[in-house]
Amino acid sequence: VLAEHPDLQVLIYGRGPLEAELRQAVADQGLAGNVQLMGFADDLPAQLGCLDLLVHPADMEGLGVSLLQASAARVPIIASRAGGMPEAVVDGENGLLISVGDVAGLAAAMNRLLGDAALRAQMGGAGRARVLREFSVDTLCEGNLAIYKKVLAQ
């Protein structure tokens, strides 16, 4: 990806048991100029709007609130087809889905979106519209209410 986008800046959010190992790998690979480990961000929703895309190649994940937050901020997403991530990312609509562990597919997806600002804007807008339509408080409450009514009717 850096060969096609040498000015790429990667921000990695979160903390975990592999953080020290990741810091060392970034240093060993000479990537300190391109990769920053951000730790936890209390104001993540405010920071998301500054991103060109959000990449989340996890091998397991629930729905992923950060994915919905990115969509709400008009940020296209690249995520794995794992857990609940396909619920938040519709392939080709608000982002791209890759197979778990597919490094070449991840790089291709990143290069595709990084190289096409119009596609990023289109997917970002579609993501925001989808979050407002399908994940609003009203929509979620209506869904829960429908389930309760169905259970009570039985």
- Residue 76 scores a pLDDT above 80: yes
3-state secondary structure of 39: strand
- pLDDT at position 92, please? 98
Report the C-alpha gap between 143 and 140 in whole angstroms. 5
Give the CATH number of domain 56-153: 3.40.50.2000
pTM of the model: 0.85
Measured in residues, the chain has a length of 154
Band of pLDDT at residue 62, cut at 50, 70 and 90 = confident
pLDDT tens, residue by residue, 26-49: 999 999 999 999 999 888 888 998
Give 98 or 65, the one with higher predicted confidence: 98
Domain parsing of the chain, residue ranges:
1-40, 56-153
Report the C-alpha gap between 27 and 17 in whole angstroms. 17
Report the C-alpha gap between 11 and 80 in whole angstroms. 18
Q: What is the mean pLDDT of residues 92-112?
A: 98
